[in-house]
Amino acid sequence: MGDILNVSHLTKRFSGLVAVDDLSLTVKERQIHTLIGPNGAGKSTTINLITGVLKGDTGTITFAGKDISAMPTHKIAQLGLGRTFQNIKLFGAMSVIENLMVGAHKNTSQGIVNFLWNTKRAKDEEEKMRAHAEQILKQIDMYSHKDDMVNELPYGLRKMTELGRTLMIDPKMILLDEPAAGLNPSERQEFIQHLKDVYDSGIDLFLIEHNMDVVMSISHYITVINFGAKIAEGEPKEVVNNPEVIKAYLGSRFKAE
Amino acid sequence: MKSRKNIISIVCLIAAVILPWLFNSTYYLSLFGQTLINIIIVFGLNFITGLTRNMNLGTAGIMAVGAYTSALLSTRLGLSPWIGLVAAILVGFLIGRGLGYPSLRISGVYLSLTTIAFGEIVRLVLNNTTSVTGGAQGLTNVPVFSIFGIQIQRGIPFYYFLLLFMLLMFWLSTRIVRSKWGRAFKAISDNPDAAESLGIDIAKIKILAFTLAAIYAALGGALYGNLMGYLNPSTFNFDFSINFVIMLMIGGIGIVRGNIIGAIVVTMLPELLRFLGDYYQLVFYTIAFIGAIKLPQGWPAGIASLAKWIARKTGLKSRKEG
Amino acid sequence: MKKKVLGLLLAVSMTVSLAACGGAGTDTTTDTSTADTSTDSAETSAPASDVLRIGVAAGITGNAPLEGERMQQALEMALEQYNESDGSIKIELDVQDTQGTTAGALNAVQRCISDGCQVILGPHGSTLVLAVGDTVDAAQVPFISGGTSPNLLDQFEYLYTCRTNDTYAAAIGAQACVESLNATNVGIFYCSDDYGSGGMTVASEYFEEQGIPYSAEAYNTGDTDVSGQILSLMNSGADCLFVWANGVDLAMISRTMYQLGCELPIVSSSSVAVQQYIDLCEPEWLEGWYGVGEYVESSDREAVQQYAADFLEYTGETGELFGATYYGAFQAVIQAVELGGGIDSASIKDGLSQIQGLEVVLGTYNCDDQNNLMHECSLIQMELTTADDGSSVVAPVVLEQLSVDY
Amino acid sequence: MLNTILQLAVSGAALGFVYALVGIEYSLIWNATGLLNFSHDKIITLGAYVAAGLFFTKMGLPIPVSFILSIVVMILVGFLMATVVLNPLRKMTTIFTIMGTILFGKMIYELIRLLYGSAPFTVPGLMTGTVHIGSLVIAKSNVYIIVIAVIVVAALQIFMQTTKTGKAMRCVQQNKKASELMGINVKQNIRITAAISSVICLIIGFMVIPLYTVSLSMASMIGLKGFAAGVVGGFGFLPGCIVGGIVVGLIESASVLVIPSVYKDAVAFLVLIIFLLIKPTGILGKKS
């Protein structure tokens, strides 16, 4: 069981402010890993570095054995690193199933010229995409909303649509940016259950989250960062009782008894 | 529901087929020919300005290059207009890629300035390379197409030729818009970050949109040369490019069927308003202006929602009485 | 649901716009159905009515609206005067706007043809004539235009030109440089549009024949600064300038030449003799310019004085070249109907070909075998005189009236 | 030869200041509303027609009176443009903002043609004559344009720094939401900006009459070139427009020495494209 994602000595400065400070972490296959830390600890900068939106000053990132530190975002995604967004980025002008089918774009092989005259192959590929999307919609029981326009759906269903769309690129690992944000407790439970199903289907998960009961209920391994640097790592139970972590979260006034 | 839509399409097709027999003076035939060519060009423009929301105000420039490439090949080198068409496609492909790259770095107003500058440069170059393009004197007797030796005369035969061409391009662009390509165009304009996170290479898709549009425009240019029989650089000016965007807006941005309606309305309207004498340009631009502000979703959709609104109003009243 | 409505609208708008298009009356009363039953090839246009319908393809809108406006005014005046003086033929003017573009000109001309016009005046400008020529030839409708570019000569069977062709006018100008100003090195400055480049080609050929070195500089319509071009011409060692430009740019060109202290003698195209454009310039800018004059308001010919007075009274505007050109064309049509013996296109065409010695504003029409009616122009020079209120005024003075058959 | 080069430089720079003024007038609207006013060349033409056509020719008023009255008319035109075009368009996508202003320009063009006819005319004796600097010559109106351009930029800077409306304009420029919260009536502020821009258009239109005479297409070329000046100098940055204008003017007139003069305009458009691709913020522009 090798590691799927390896970040070593990653640093990123924004004109003086050190957003990510010599961070190293490893995400093992078949192990749900969560990155936690107080607000402004550098979590979203880390995601942007991993997904290629930002380029690190130093350090390397490897995913599924390949060095992706200098790779553009769409190439990293093509390697199988899916992601969801904190503030759900969907294609408003399209229906749910169309959103998902955009996800399948990278897996299709037909070029534009072939598409124009080879109508049979075009039709087959379209059907294949549609079937794949419907199968995933059934998996996340969103099939009934197949043709609804995305911007007319409630928040919870939009989150599910985004998850479904990420699944469409057959990811090896999905990077979830604060999945629990904006969900009420019952929606949260349901969403976590779906995440577990996704994990069971063989896809690794790497969460960025600061809602502790979500973290505790799903994570196998936790890394804690504060001011861009790693301050603790390990099993959820160990990490929660680690005085450094408590101090970082609750501030120095609450000394560990 | 599906069958009703097909009936309407068939009705339109029949209308298009019997049209030249109803109005067969050269004036109407040339007008219908111009409309069909405008429809083809607006199909292309729909990919850039319609789906990827990039503003292209240089369509006339692309059309001019396509027209002159095809016309010069057939008049100077005596090649058949069919080779001219293929050459226009190639030229359109090259321009598409050329114009596509700026759209990666800049967008919105800046991109529109680039396309305007491109259009002006093309017109100036064509106007002043007199030895090659005939310059301001223009290029005369551009030949007509012939299939297996039979010449397609300008007039009714050429109208049907253009009609077939338009239907082919309509079929292609409907297929593209309804396919993964159409979705990709909409995706990168709606939310580029999300599209990138799904493995879509935004640069490739943007350039594809520009290339498709440029090929449609160059093809339209070549056909325009054959329809008119005479080309002059002064025709392809800034106003020409604007008209295509007006057609797109009136028909409804991103709607392929809307492109057809937009092109018909904008090409026919000035001729319809001729009876206004001196004022018809002012009236035409005022209508287009009000349309731009009040009916951004396009006139058909605007009228449809108006119809629904009236239906709801009248429906409400009748329910109250009933 | 939206798709279905769109389809419906497509059908409705297509058929409605076309039905309306067919029925929409043009500003002259035409019989309702314009759908000719004849086959599209030999398009005989004249419905059997006794009305002579003169089509007018004028650039009312677009980038050169002045020509269109003056054309329309002069022809309306000519019709009014004809109805008062003679009126034996019932005449209607069918004015269509060419929008100053090739596509617009084609639409306008085809509109006139489908309205059943037996003769068409315009479109003005060689580019537009080249664009519509084949269509009008196919419709076998004679059309008279003021286009002067050399490549209009024997290009279209039904085209008659009513202004001296550049081959002749530009040649007169070039001749003036060489003979009257004995130039040894000429600098040509021309507008890059069809008019300017036409004049330049003729002049450069003439200078080559005469073995006189020349250099050429051009500017584009709408150019805002020509000092660069004029400076390079002044430095080119030219001892005479040949300027072939449109009237609107005359002010900019003459101002720049005056400011840069260009002392070289100048021979200009006919726009220098048109009062409209002279008014745009300060008198001292144009002092001493030679020019090829077609319409010279100060000319002592009675027809010119009469036209200038009538036009001022009818429109309140000063008479000028475009109006005078088509005023003459109208008279040519009247004479052609008499000579040809009928108001149908064929007789008008025969009539036009027989026109000899018809006195008009620009000179006398003599139709040659290339269907050119006008062979005259005058060599003029701009003379600076002080008006009675002490201010200086510049006006063209006719040096000699020249005519030749080419 | 040196004299020619110097003369070209002088004419180029003089022309550059015309482009600079054009750059200033549309930058005001660009900063205030984020809209590029594609109808600006028609408003310049309208300014010239109102001053020279309506007041001077038709009503026979002396030049200074005509100019003052035209300022009032152009302020109203500015208000009209803001209410009918700018404010409604502000919230729409780029395609509609561009097309809205283009079509508004077309409407103005046709209105002018219908009201004033299409014959070009001029204002005799308006800023005619030239100024000689050694052997170099520069039209008097160009000298005025240079002076006016500098005054306008200085006046605008002072107006924006000191006066209440001026400061409000800067707030609206940066953040409309915040300005509204601070009690600035954004719509009214945009109307004032549009009015100022229209008055500058009048100044340009009036100043170029001796150079280009009053005609329907007098401002179309300087309109497009004004965009080039803005992009080269720094879009929306007023002093940048002057630098940009001069650079474009100089490059244009210098090109006559190198390539056939007919491609002079094409050179200016090429410069526009190159700057748009390499440095869209322009020479002096800040990163927007």
What CATH number is given to the structural domain containing B302? 1.10.3470
Other residues' Cβ atoms within 10 Å of the Cβ of residue D92: 15
pLDDT confidence band for B41 (50 / 70 / 90) = very high
Q: What is the CATH number of domain A1-80+171-257?
A: 3.40.50.300
Whole-angstrom Cα distance, residue C217 to residue D4? Answer: 16
Domain with CATH 3.40.50.2300 in chain C: 51-163+303-374, 167-293+378-403
Structure tokens given for D165: 């409306």
Chain D residue closest in CA terms to B245:
D99
Neighbours of chain C (3+ CB pairs under 8 A): B, D
- Nearest Cα to Cα of residue C119 among C337, C353, C383, C359: C337
On whether any CB of chain C is under 8 Å from the CB of B272, the answer is: yes
pLDDT, one tens digit per residue, over B8-24 is 888 888 888 888 888 87
Tens digits of residue pLDDT in B205-256: 999 999 999 999 999 999 999 998 889 998 898 989 999 999 999 988 888 8
Strand order in the sheet with A66-67: A17-28, A3-14, A58-63, A66-67
Segment B85-99, tens digit of pLDDT: 999 999 999 999 988
Q: How would residue D4 be classed by pLDDT, with cut points 50, 70 and 90? A: confident
Closest CA to B39 of B284, B222, B273, B258: B258
Q: Quote the minimal CA–CA distance from B121 to chain D in Å.
A: 5
D239 exposure class (CB count in 10 Å sphere: 0-12, 13-18, 19+): middle
We find that the CATH architecture of domain C51-163+303-374 is 3-Layer(aba) Sandwich (3.40)
What per-residue confidence (pLDDT) applies to C127?
86
Closest by Cβ to B246, choosing from D99, D224, D228: D99
- Supply the pLDDT for residue A253: 54
- The answer to whether A106 contacts B179, with C-beta atoms less than 8 Å apart, is no
Chains D and A touch (3+ CB pairs under 8 A): no
Domain that holds residue B58: 22-321
Q: Please report, as a single letter, which amino acid is at residue D129.
A: G
Q: What domains appear along chain D, each with residue ranges and CATH number?
A: 2-278 (1.10.3470)
Asked if A165 reaches chain B (Cβ–Cβ under 8 Å), the answer is: yes
Q: D238 — phi, psi (to 5°)?
A: -55, -55
**Domain assignment present for B231:** yes
Residue D50 DSSP one-character state: I
Is the pLDDT at A8 greater than 70, yes or no? yes
- Is residue B11 in some structural domain? no
Give the SS3 label for residue A232: strand
Residues of D in contact with C282 (CB under 8 A): 124, 128
What is the SS3 assignment for D233? Answer: helix
- The answer to whether D259 faces chain C, any CB pair under 8 Å, is no
Cα–Cα distance, A32 to A203 (Å, whole number)? 10
Task: Select from B127, B242, B282 the Cβ nearest to the Cβ of D110.
Answer: B282
Cα-based distances in Å from A239 to A178, A231, A232, A245: 19, 10, 7, 7
Of B34, B127, B300, nearest to C6 by CB-CB distance is B300
Per-residue pLDDT of A188-221, as tens digits, reads: 888 888 899 999 999 999 999 878 888 888 889 9
pLDDT at B322 > cutoff 80: no
Which residue from D minimizes the CA distance to C220? D262
C26 contacts B275 by C-beta, under 8 angstroms: yes
Q: Would you say residue B5 lies in a domain? A: no
Mean pLDDT, rounded, of chain D: 88
pLDDT digits (tens, 9 = 90+) for B124-180: 999 988 888 888 888 888 888 888 878 888 888 899 999 999 999 999 999 999 899
- Domain extents for chain A? 1-80+171-257, 93-169
pLDDT tens figures, C300-323 = 888 888 998 999 999 888 888 889
Of C69, C218, C225, the CB nearest to D117: C69
> Six-digit token pair at A254?
């609450």
List, for residues B44-75, the tens digit of each pLDDT value: 999 988 777 888 999 999 999 999 999 999 99
pLDDT attached to residue C390: 78
* pLDDT (mean) for A10-14: 89
Residues in chain B within 8 Å Cβ distance of D100: 289, 292-293
Residue D216: list chain C partners with CB under 8 A: 63, 65
Beta carbons of A119 and B175 less than 8 Å apart: yes
Residues 6+ apart with CB under 8 A from B49: B55, B56, B245, B248, B253, D95
- Please state, in angstroms and as integers, the Cα–Cα distance from residue A49 to each residue in A52, A68, C46, C76, following that order: 5, 10, 79, 77
What is the number of other CB atoms lying within 10 angstroms of the CB of residue C368?
11
Q: How confident is the model at residue C232 (pLDDT cuts 50, 70, 90)?
A: confident
Compare CB distances from D280 to B106, B112, B127 and report the shortest one's residue: B106
Cβ-nearest to C219 among D1, D217, D261:
D261
Minimal C-alpha gap between D198 and chain B (Å): 20
User: Do the Cβ atoms of B265 and C13 come within 8 Å?
Assistant: yes
Say how many C-beta atoms besides its own lie within 10 A of residue C300's C-beta.
8
- Residues of chain C contacting residue B140, judged by C-beta atoms under 8 Å apart: 130, 155
Q: Is the pLDDT of residue C1 over 80?
A: no
C255 burial type by CB count under 10 A (0-12 exposed, 13-18 middle, 19+ buried)? buried
**Average pLDDT rounded to a whole number, residues C175-183:** 86
Q: How many CB pairs under 8 A join C and D?
A: 97
Neighbours of chain A (3+ CB pairs under 8 A): B
- The bridge status of strand A33-36 relative to strand A17-28 is unpaired
Given a cut of 70, whether residue C26 has pLDDT beyond it is no
Closest residue of chain B to C25, computed from CA coordinates: B275
Yes or no, beta carbons of C192 and B135 under 8 Å apart: yes
In this prediction, residue C8 has a pLDDT band, given cuts at 50, 70 and 90, of very low
Residue B292's CB is within 10 A of a number of other CB atoms, namely 27
Nearest alpha carbon to residue C227 among C253, C247, C189, C265: C253
Contacts of D266 in chain B (CB under 8 A): 120-121, 124-125
pLDDT at residue B122 tops 90: yes
A160 near A194, Cβ under 8 Å? yes
Q: What is the pLDDT of residue C13?
A: 45
Q: Is residue B134 part of a domain?
A: yes
pLDDT for residue A173: 92
How many domains, in total, are found in chain B? 1
Looking at the partner chain, which of D118, D130, D212 has a beta carbon nearest the beta carbon of C66?
Answer: D118
Q: CB–CB of B120 and D99 under 8 A?
A: no
Check B249 against D103: CB less than 8 A apart.
no
Does the distance separating the beta carbons of D265 and C280 come in below 8 Å?
A: no
Average pLDDT of chain A to the nearest whole number: 87
Q: Please say if the pLDDT value at position C148 is more than 90.
A: no
The candidate with the shortest Cα–Cα distance to B44, out of B252, B301, B264, B248, is B248
- With CA atoms as reference, report the closest residue to B50 among B227, B296, B221: B296
Category of D135 on φ-ψ map: left (φ > 0), alpha (ψ -120 to 50) or beta: alpha
Residue ranges of B 33-72 with Cβ closer than 8 A to chain C: 34
Tokens linked to B187: 């995706």
Q: What angle do CA A223, A225, A226 make, to 5 degrees?
A: 160
Disruptive mutation site among C227, C281, C320 for chain D (greatest number of D CBs within 10 Å): C227
pLDDT confidence band for C15 (50 / 70 / 90): very low
C262 interfacial to chain D (CB closer than 8 Å):
no
The strand pair at C392-403 and C376-386 is best described as: antiparallel
CB nearest to B289's CB, from D94, D104, D231: D104
Please judge whether C227 and D11 are an interchain contact, meaning their C-beta atoms are less than 8 angstroms apart: yes
Distance of CA B120 to the CA centre of its chain: 19
**Is the CB of residue D134 less than 8 Å away from at least one CB of chain C?**
no
pLDDT at D230 over 70: yes
Rg, Å, chain C Cα set: 23
Global confidence as pTM: 0.86
Chains B+A touching (3+ CB pairs under 8 Å): yes
Write the single-letter amino acid at B164: L
Q: Which amino acid is at A163?
A: L
b/e per residue D137-174 (b: at least 16 CB within 10 A): bbbebbbbbbebbeebbeebeeebeeeeebebbebbbe
Minimal-distance CA residue of chain C relative to D15: C225
ipTM score assigned to the predicted complex:
0.84
* pLDDT band, very low/low/confident/very high, at D234 (cuts 50, 70, 90): confident
Contact B193 A53 (CB under 8 A): yes
Inter-chain touch A98–B183, beta carbons under 8 Å: yes
Per-residue pLDDT averaged across C4-26, rounded? 42
- CB-based contact, C25 to chain B, within 8 Å: yes
The answer to whether C204 contacts chain B (CB < 8 Å) is no
Kindly state the tokens that stand for A66.
């390949």
For residue B17, how many C-alpha atoms fall within 13 Å in the half-sphere facing its CB? 8
Q: Are C204 and C216 in contact (CB under 8 A)?
A: yes
CATH number assigned to the domain covering C167-293+378-403: 3.40.50.2300
